[in-house]
Amino acid sequence: MTQRKQALMRGVGHFLVWADSYRVVFGIHALAIGPIDFESHLHTYLLVFAPLIDWFMVNSPPHRWLLGWVFQLPAAPVYLVTFGATTSLGAWLVRRSHRIDEVT
C-alpha cells in the first residue's frame, strides 16, 4: 500500500475516532430529557437535519422504510451505538495503517 493511502487511512480513522464525540453529548441529552424517539429528538433539537431527512424520505421507498424504522428507536441508544460503531471503525483503521507501516 502506498504511503499516500496509509496517510489517508490514518486520517479517516482519526476523524472517525474524534469527530463524533458530539454523539455522546446528544445521547446524554436524550437521556436527560426522558424517553424520546430519534425522530422527535432530531426534529426538536437538531432542526438543521430536517431538509436532509425530508430529501431522503421523498427519494425512494427503501429510504422511507429504513428511516421510518430508525426513527422509532429511542434516541439515546441510537446516538451511543453509532458513537461506538464509528469509534471502533476509526480505531481499526488507525491500527491497520500502523500495522501496514510495520510490515513495509
- pLDDT tens digits, one per residue of 42-88: 778 777 777 877 787 787 788 888 888 888 989 888 888 989 999 99
Has residue 1 got a pLDDT over 70? no
* Shared domain check, 60 and 9: no
The CA distance from 13 to 90, in Å, is 4
Per-residue confidence band for 22, with pLDDT thresholds at 50, 70 and 90: confident
pLDDT number for residue 48: 75
Instruction: List the domain range (segments joined by +) for residue 61.
Output: 37-73
16 and 45 together in one domain: no
Same domain for 85 and 103? yes
Q: What share of the chain is helix, strand, coil (3-state, %, to 5)?
A: 85, 0, 10
Grouping H, G, I as helix, E, B as strand and the rest as coil, residue 20 is coil
Structurally, the chain folds into a number of domains equal to 2
Cell reading at 7:
496517510
Check pLDDT > 80 for residue 104. no
